[in-house]
């Protein structure tokens, strides 16, 4: 990463402390919601590029990073979506776009359904489409839990390479530094919700222009899922990054931005 955020800050919204990093400061507002074990700082390299055109707020989802955590919180999808709605409201963000990756994309969908006037558009980056009676999410829970437990005791970039072998040294160092902030029960709940909460049911309720970005090598979204999603929301715009796995910008940074295009400000 060549630069950094303008600042990091905390806001009390939906009854919890929500920590965020702000990049850019000019242009249309974008709220970036990371995935299941990605604190905000790990998306800095993407936010920096977005900040060339947008005013970007990257969230620490509850139970991750510097946001509220602990055994007394609800880590379900509805609670995380309510956080995003409250975040935008408390900061008086004027109909920002939501860009969510993986779990963050599911949060974006649920938030947009809950508050359709609050958000202008959605960029959904390879969201899990598993659910009751559906194909299982391809990643397995121990992959997350084992790495978090190692991080709690201290792990370096070399140790993290066993879990993320294709990442750069800088990306591995960031994950090794921050993964311990991912609260295991929050991760377990979110992972289980991938299989309990069917996000397809939300798609017909969307009102905003919406993009679905598919990782060509991710194994998360298949052609049958694309067809079903479009049947439920015919205006859905689908783009693909053929040579990327689920962590699209980690695998193909330029391909991610080519696929995103000008959607966020169109």
| Whether 19 is catalytic | no
| Distance of alpha carbon 162 from the chain centroid | 23
Strand-pairing partners, residue 69, are none
Residue 120 known to be catalytic: no
Residue among 19, 68, 120, 246 flagged as catalytic: 246
Are 4 and 43 spatial neighbours (Cβ–Cβ below 8 Å)? no
Q: How far apart are CA 18 and CA 11, in angstroms?
A: 5
* Alpha helices in the chain, H assignment, sequence order: 44-50, 77-90, 103-114, 141-152, 157-160, 169-178, 184-196, 223-232, 248-251, 253-260
Catalytic residue among 89, 222, 231, 265: 222
Looking only at the bridges linking them, the beta strands covering 16-23 and 97-101 are unpaired
* CB contact at 8 A, 18 and 59: yes
Is the sign of the CA dihedral 30, 21, 83, 252 positive or negative?
positive
Round to whole Å and give the CA distance between 221 and 246: 9
Beta bridge partners of 214: 240
DSSP string for 11-78: EEETTEEEEEEEE--SSSEEEEE--TT--GGGGHHHHHHHTTTSEEEEE--TTSTTS--STTS--SHH
Tally: H helices and E strands in the chain: 10, 8
Catalytic residue among 102, 120, 130, 147: 102
Whether residue 195 lies in the annotated active site: no
Query: What is the rounded CA–CA span in Å between residue 187 and residue 139?
Result: 13
Annotated active-site positions, please?
102, 222, 246
């Amino acid at each position: 990463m060549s630069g950094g955020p303008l600042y990091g800050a905390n806001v009390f919204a939906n009854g919890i402390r929500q920590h965020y990093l702000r990049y850019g400061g000019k242009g249309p507002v974008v709220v970036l919601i990371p995935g299941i074990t990605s604190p905000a700082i790990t998306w800095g390299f993407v936010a920096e590029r977005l900040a060339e055109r947008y005013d970007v707020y990257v969230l620490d989802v509850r139970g991750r990073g510097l946001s509220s955590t602990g055994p007394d919180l609800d880590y379900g999808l509805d609670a995380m979506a309510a956080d995003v709605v409250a975040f935008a409201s408390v900061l008086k963000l004027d109909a920002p776009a939501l860009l969510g990756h993986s779990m963050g994309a599911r949060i974006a969908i649920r938030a947009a359904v809950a508050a359709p006037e609050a958000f202008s558009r959605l960029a959904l980056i390879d969201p899990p489409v598993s659910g009751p009676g559906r194909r299982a999410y391809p990643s397995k829970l121990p992959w997350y839990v084992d790495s978090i437990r190692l991080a709690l005791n201290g792990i370096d970039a070399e140790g993290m390479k066993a879990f993320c072998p294709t990442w750069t040294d800088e990306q591995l160092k960031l994950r090794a530094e921050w993964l311990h902030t991912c609260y295991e029960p929050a991760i377990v709940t979110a992972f289980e919700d991938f299989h309990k909460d069917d996000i397809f049911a939300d798609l017909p309720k969307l009102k905003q222009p919406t993009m679905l970005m598919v990782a060509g090598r991710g194994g998360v979204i298949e052609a049958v899922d694309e067809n079903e999603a479009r049947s439920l929301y015919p205006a859905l715009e689908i783009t693909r990054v053929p040579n990327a796995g689920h962590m699209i910008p980690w695998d193909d940074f330029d391909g991610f931005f080519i696929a995103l295009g000008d959607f966020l400000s169109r």
